[in-house]
Chains A and B, each alone.
Chain A
Amino acid sequence: QQPVQSPQAVILREGEDAVINCSSSKALYSVHWYRQKHGEAPVFLMILLKGGEQKGHDKISASFNEKKQQSSLYLTASQLSYSGTYFCGGNTGGFKTIFGAGTRLFVKA
């Protein structure tokens, strides 16, 4: 089963914060976050491992709650360049990374 992402879409003004959530009905060994701009390939943002720390770079960070099988992506002080579709992917064991349906983020000036 695919991880479930929420919200499906969000519109922000430049400088506002956003949180994208990802939950799984199966136990996850790791959570992966990617961003895809329209017409382009997905690009890796970060990976969170079971038992690992919250990760982040620049103004984008993420956490992974293993007990709840939930991950959240935090975008702080959003910029126009943050617009795109964000995908969370989960690894439930083995070598399969299964992705959610995506969250569309639009940042306007």
Chain B
Amino acid sequence: NAGVTQTPKFQVLKTGQSMTLQCAQDMNHEYMSWYRQDPGMGLRLIHYSVGAGITDQGEVPNGYNVSRSTTEDFPLRLLSAAPSQTSVYFCASSRTSGRDSWEQYFGPGTRLTVT
């Protein structure tokens, strides 16, 4: 199992550009989520999904869109990048039932810089 994979690892954008951060998992997990991590702020939830076709907002959803057309993939779209979106982005997944439910597996992260 590859677990949770994210691409790209690093990205530099200019203000106003758009892009999609990719996230995929091969564990057949129902739940997937996106977090951003900024110094001193911990992990803040952007969006999450409990299954294909079902998404909802987290703590800091503004400026980001998500969709979930398959169980495996959960891309995060930045609509018009702003310097305030400079951060490290983590994707995570977990089961929603069973012995290891809600044990989140995190991807390696994408380090995004917006100039």
Contacts and interface: CB of A to CB of B under 8 A. Distances in A.
Interface of A: 2, 30, 32, 34, 40-44, 47, 87, 89, 91, 95-102
Contact of B45 (A40, A41, A96): A96
Nearest to A43: B106
A97 B107 contact: no
A87 B41 CA distance: 11
Contact of A100 (B31, B42, B59): B42
A68 to B, nearest CB: 21
A89 B43 CA distance: 9
Contact of A101 (B42, B45, B90): B42
A41 B35 CA distance: 11
Interface residues of B, number: 24
Interface of A is mostly: strand
Interface string B23-60: 00000000101010000111111001010000010110
Interface of B: 31, 33, 35, 40-45, 48, 50, 56, 58-59, 90, 96, 102-109
Quick one: which of A43, A44, A95, A99 has the most chain B CB within 10 A?
Answer: A95
B41 A101 contact: yes
Contact of A30 (B58, B102, B107): B102
A101 B31 CA distance: 23
A97 B41 CA distance: 15
Contacts of A43: 106
A95 B42 contact: no
